[in-house]
């Protein structure tokens, strides 16, 4: 069962959770639960007995019949200790939440599974969004599993793996050259065709899915908080979701004390949040020319900008950029040192952590969680080519 009571907007108005809502991100549509009742009826022990997927948190999710969820067993990804990376950074320890383990290779599966499950319950037949690629691929697979339609708008440079997810699952997909127009095109197409607009932070349920990252971090640490989280931000949904989880856990009394500081990383070629943070502003100004590798973080006007800036101000933290070369070198460093294989946009977290330590923002004895949002299996064409010699005899195999 779900303890969902209503959807709340920025003005504090309660909206009916039995119907769909899609509004500008400034409306801040958020799912609210009967936390008092959860506190009485659910315990951390009940959660621990749940499935090894994000559905262990069903009481804190909006889906009325979790037993019928549209699931590919997403979530419950490992929080890995990375001692060699920690040593390289002069840290006592360092943890990486490896979201590349999700079914389509990124954390987008969390939002897709929970939101698609809820929309099936609400009778939605067609959803639509613009996505730099990973969400498009993920939603396509979950829509196919649910028997609904997801109309995708991807940039022309979207990674082949994401395009293949869309193609193979038979979901209608379109490419757009000028990415700044993406949100407007979707809004118009949804209005004309009656599709549900599920773009970042326009509806409340993707956030609920991504919230489970925060729930998992708390549970995997024994229901306590780290000192800092480092998150590679595009639209900002994931960071906002992680902190919504922490706030709910505080209200439930399942965690206590101070929430972690939030550090954001973005590519230097599209860094509206970092710029706003550096300039001390409360909102982002739209980024001009986008110059980043294909994949996530292509969000020139992040819908979650103001909310993420608020989180950094409230809990402490900061924002830094990584160049594409730094990110690619960090992919290799994470693979070489720890056997991890993050996509370049995720690897910006390691670059960001190093810079945050150099600036004195993060101390080397602090407990830090890096959110590695996706796998480099989704980014092969962007990585340095492997040039291995072809051999014909074992004598040629010298190392």
Give the separation between CA 337 and CA 214, rounded to whole angstroms. 26
Q: Look-up: residue for tokens 């480099």?
A: 376
Q: How far is the CB of 395 from ligand PLP (least distance, A)?
A: 43
Least distance (Å) between residue 49 CB and ligand PLP: 30
Which residues contact ligand PLP (rule: CB under 6 A)?
106, 132, 134, 200, 232-238, 296-297, 343, 345-346, 373-374
> Which residue number has the CB closest to ligand PLP?
296
Angle between helices 160-168 and 134-146 (to 10 degrees): 20
Question: 330-364 burial, b for 16+ CB within 10 Å, e for fewer?
Answer: bbebbeebbebbbbbbbbbbbbbbbbbbeeebbee
Q: What share of the chain is helix, strand, coil (3-state, %, to 5)?
A: 45, 15, 40
Q: How far is the CB of 232 from ligand PLP (least distance, A)?
A: 5
Least distance (Å) from ligand PLP to the CB of residue 29?
16
Closest CA to 74 of 113, 115, 118, 116: 113
Q: Residue 282, class by beta-carbon neighbours within 10 Å (0-12 exposed, 13-18 middle, 19+ buried)?
A: exposed
Q: How far is the CB of 96 from ligand PLP (least distance, A)?
A: 14
Q: What are the tokens at 264?
A: 């954001």
The residue with tokens 């990375």 is 82
Which CB atom, from 7 or from 237, has the smaller least distance to ligand PLP?
Answer: 237
Q: Are 248 and 35 in contact (CB under 8 A)?
A: yes
Nearer to ligand PLP, 225 or 237 (CB): 237
| Cβ at position 387, least distance to ligand PLP in Å | 26
Asked whether 130 and 176 are in contact (CB, 8 A), the reply is: yes
> C-alpha angle 28/29/31, rounded to 5°?
130
Closer residue to ligand PLP in complex, CB, 59/111: 111
Nearest CA to 44 out of 66, 34, 59, 33 is that of 59
CB of 233 to ligand PLP, least distance (A): 4
Cα–Cα distance, 40 to 184 (Å, whole number): 44
What minimum distance in Å lies between the beta carbon of 373 and ligand PLP? 3
């Amino acid at each position: 069962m779900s303890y969902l009571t209503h959807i709340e907007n920025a003005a504090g108005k309660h909206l009916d959770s039995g119907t769909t809502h899609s509004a500008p991100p400034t409306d801040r549509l958020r799912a609210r639960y009967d936390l008092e009742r959860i506190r009485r009826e659910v315990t951390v022990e009940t959660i621990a007995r749940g499935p090894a997927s994000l559905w262990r948190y069903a009481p804190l999710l909006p889906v009325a019949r979790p037993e019928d969820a549209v699931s590919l067993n997403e979530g419950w990804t490992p929080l890995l200790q990375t001692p060699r990376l920690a040593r390289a950074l002069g840290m006592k320890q360092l943890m990486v939440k490896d979201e590349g383990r999700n079914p389509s290779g990124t954390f987008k599966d969390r939002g897709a599974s929970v939101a698609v499950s809820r929309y099936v319950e609400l009778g939605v037949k067609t959803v639509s969004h613009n996505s730099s690629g990973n969400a498009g691929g993920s939603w396509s697979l979950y829509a196919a599993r649910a028997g609904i339609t997801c109309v995708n708008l991807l940039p022309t440079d979207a990674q082949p793996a994401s395009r293949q997810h869309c193609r193979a699952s038979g979901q209608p997909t379109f490419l757009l050259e000028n990415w700044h127009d993406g949100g407007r095109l979707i809004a118009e197409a949804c209005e004309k065709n009656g599709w549900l607009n599920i773009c970042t932070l326009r509806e409340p349920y993707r956030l609920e899915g991504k919230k489970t990252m925060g729930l998992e971090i708390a549970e995997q640490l024994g229901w306590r908080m780290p000192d800092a989280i480092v998150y590679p931000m595009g639209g900002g949904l994931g960071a906002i979701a992680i902190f919504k989880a922490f706030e709910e856990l505080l209200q439930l009394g399942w965690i206590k004390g101070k929430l972690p500081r939030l550090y954001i990383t973005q590519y230097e070629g599209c860094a509206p949040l970092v710029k706003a943070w550096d300039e001390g502003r409360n909102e982002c100004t739209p980024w001009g020319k986008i110059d980043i590798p294909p994949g996530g973080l292509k969000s020139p006007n992040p819908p979650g900008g103001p909310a993420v800036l608020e989180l950094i101000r409230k809990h402490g933290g900061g924002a830094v950029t990584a160049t594409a070369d730094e990110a690619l070198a960090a992919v290799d460093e994470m693979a070489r040192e720890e056997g991890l294989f993050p996509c370049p946009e995720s690897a910006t977290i390691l670059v960001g952590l190093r810079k945050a330590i150099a600036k004195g923002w993060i101390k080397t004895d602090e407990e830090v969680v890096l959110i590695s949002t996706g796998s480099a299996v989704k980014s092969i064409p962007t990585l340095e080519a492997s040039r291995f010699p072809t051999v014909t005899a074992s004598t040629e195999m010298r190392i």
